[in-house]
Amino acid sequence: MKSTVIHSLAVLGMSLVAFHALAQSNDLVAEGAQIELLSDTFTFTEGPIADEAGNVYFSDIPANRIHVWTVDGELQTFREQTNGNNGLFFDSNWVLHGAEGGAGRISRMDSEGNATAVIDQHNGAPFNSPNDLWIDPQGGIYFTDPRYGSEANLPQPGYYVYYLAPGASEAEVIITDMQRPNGIIGTADGETLYVADHQGNQTFAYDIDAPGQISGKRLIAPQGSDGVTLDEHGNLYLTGGNNITVYSPEGEVLQVLEFPLAPANMT
């Protein structure tokens, strides 16, 4: 999906699936591009991610389903009974992984949608509600673990960001100072990590010194975000209100894309 030039930006929000065609130029969005409503049959869509062929997978959290919008324009159900799966991400082998908030775990899925737990506990207790994840070039998984809704009987002592090394059975806590970390993404070279503090209304960048080791925390955007993504130029896309705001790697606002409904996430 994100090759030399981005050809499309799929936006999924509450009861909204919209599409923006992007120009094959230095412009972020083609002049005259229009929003197209693909479907309004969902409850709350999240976690859109494209596979190698360009098919877009996404979660409908309350419905406990993962759907796929194919390159042929067909809507298919990929998985049911998802345990409230939120974020989705493919690893370098195009294996789909998900953040199952309702089950307090990170899972991997085969091509038929069958899920297996990758990790489901920290220090002997379930996670609060894994929200979003990013898989680095080495196969390590970075994920956020806030909770929305009831905060009674939280199994973990805080809303943290974790790193799970390939093959490890225990995740490492790498960020503890956010109010409610949500969207997370890293650069393709594995050198920079972005994490949105949704409740704190700020998004930060970190240097990745080695897998699971970060430093150089810096404010990249004065807004939090539910969803985050990057284009091939390293520009950061954040959702907020009825907008998607595009920031340069230095934190400069490049463009604000407006939508009729509030986007939750994008790819």
CA 191 to chain centre: 18
Contacts of 35 by beta carbon, 8 Å cutoff, 6+ apart: 18, 19, 20, 259, 260
Output the pLDDT for position 27: 67
- Quick check: 133 and 96 in contact, CB under 8 A? no
The CB density around residue 250, as the number of other CB atoms within 10 Å, is: 8
Q: Assess whether pLDDT exceeds 50 at residue 9.
A: no
CA nearest neighbour of 133 among 167, 169, 95, 179:
95
Express each pLDDT in 118-136 by its tens digit.
999 999 999 999 999 999 9
Express each pLDDT in 239-266 by its tens digit.
998 999 999 999 999 999 888 888 888 8
Q: Name the residue with tokens 């789909």.
A: 96
Q: Assess whether pLDDT exceeds 70 at residue 6.
A: no
Q: Assess whether pLDDT exceeds 60 at residue 10.
A: no
Express each pLDDT in 201-217 by its tens digit.
999 999 999 999 999 99
Output the pLDDT for position 19: 41
The one-letter code for the residue type at 95 is: V
pTM of the model: 0.89
Q: Name the residue with tokens 């307090």.
A: 104
Task: List the domains of the chain with CATH numbers.
Answer: 8-266 (2.120.10.30)
